[in-house]
Amino acid sequence: MSMKRLAFFLITLLFFCPTFAQSGWQPEQKELAAPVYFLASPLLEGREVGERGSLVAAEYIASAMEQIGLLPAGDIRLGKADWFQDFEFIPRKTKPEELKRGKITVRNVLGMIKGVDTSKYVVIGAHYDHLGMRGDTIFHGAVDNASGVSGVLALAKRWSSSEKRPPCNLIFAAWTAEEKGHQGSNYFVHHFAPGQKNFLFTINFDMISRSAPEDTACNILSIGVLKEDTLIREMATRNNAALGINLELDLWITGENGGSDYAAFTAYGVPIMTFHAGENIDYHTPEDTRDKMDWPKMIKVIKLANSCLEEFLERWKLQ
């Protein structure tokens, strides 16, 4: 890791990792909290696509991936892969002065763990952009979707620290411009050099740390899968029971078009699991702040996703 990036990473941990009471969940909570507290901080001004806060967020995520031990999987620059996959687009909804700039350059952040079979890929992703500012008001985007990025980084750390090499490549992705029509994930899928046929499976995290108002027990988890993927639905139910985490699963069928980044993959028939803990009352408001996280539920969601990923990879390896 470069000294500049290491310093940036350590400083953000120092100032944005909160202290929790001693409990059996403490390591997981602290691990999940650091990205949420930084990405949803006022300093990042809501992570509007193409704005300063979004660029700082991308640098932070790349620093975290490098610290974890991932390999950069973005654009090739000077003969080496970078952490960033850059592309240009014109925002659909934008301020008049952005319109004056025309196209803006934005970036996905991509890290990878090489597998035994380097021709096949599983993608674990979440979008890191949010709504930015409206006047002086910041839309912090803690649940939407700093929580999802934190989940991606947690799985990346778990798999990177494993002594076993995964059976195929694992790509850990932080997508940009989801709020502008899933632009980042779409760009990745359409510009991925090995081609869509080499994607085996995708996990998507979008808002995984709070519940809907009607979920008074705070234990409902929405998981979307393709209609034909009965095995994946069974996998979710089986692992939920085996882990003893007692989430009430709302298993639903996704189409080729959808409300999050999984749609870029389902359009090509790639099996997916998209995890969503509920549409809370602060969705797309300035009140989506980092102090309202449901850490125990978020931990359960990530543990279930990891257990399903382990089973999927084991089944694929044995084929």
pLDDT one-digit tens code per residue, 27-49? 378 899 999 999 999 999 999 99
% of the chain residues with pLDDT over 70: 87
Instruction: Answer yes or no: is pLDDT of 99 > 80.
Output: no
pLDDT band of residue 92 (cuts 50, 70, 90) is low
Report the CATH number at residue 300. Answer: 3.40.630.10
Given a cut of 50, whether residue 229 has pLDDT beyond it is yes
Minimum mean pLDDT range among 145-149, 263-267, 274-278: 263-267
pLDDT at 5: 55
Average pLDDT over residues 179-206: 93
293 closest CA partner among 43, 18, 65 = 18
| Mean pLDDT, residues 260-271 taken together | 93
For 248, half-sphere exposure in the C-beta direction (CA atoms, 13 angstrom radius) is: 8
Mean confidence (pLDDT) of the chain: 89
Assess contact for 270 and 201: CB atoms under 8 A.
yes
Residue 25 has pLDDT above 50, yes or no: no
Split at pLDDT 50, 70, 90, the class of 14 is: very low
197-225 per-position pLDDT tens digit: 899 999 999 999 999 999 999 999 999 99
Domain extent at residue 188: 3-318
Q: Residue 91 — very low, low, confident or very high, per pLDDT cuts 50/70/90?
A: low
Predicted pLDDT at 17: 45
Give the count of domains, the chain.
Answer: 1
pLDDT at 286: 98
- Non-local (6+) Cβ contacts of 189 within 8 A are 196, 199, 264, 265, 267, 268
pLDDT-based confidence at residue 95 (cuts at 50, 70, 90):
low
Alpha helix (H) ranges present in the chain?
3-16, 26-39, 52-68, 96-101, 148-160, 183-191, 230-243, 263-266, 295-318
Q: What is the mean pLDDT of residues 133-156?
A: 97
Greater model confidence, 98 or 11: 98
- Report pLDDT for 204: 98
Max mean pLDDT among 13-22, 86-95, 292-301 falls in 292-301
Percent of the chain with pLDDT over 90: 76
User: Which of these, 199, 255, 39, lies nearest to 126 by C-alpha position?
Assistant: 39
Query: In angstroms, what CA-CA distances link 253 with 230, 249, 308?
Result: 10, 13, 17
Question: Does the structure show a pLDDT above 80 at 134?
Answer: yes
Mean pLDDT computed over 115-131: 97
Q: Are 314 and 166 in contact (CB under 8 A)?
A: no
Average pLDDT over residues 275-290: 96
* 84-89 vs 104-113, strand pairing mode: antiparallel
pLDDT of residue 77: 92
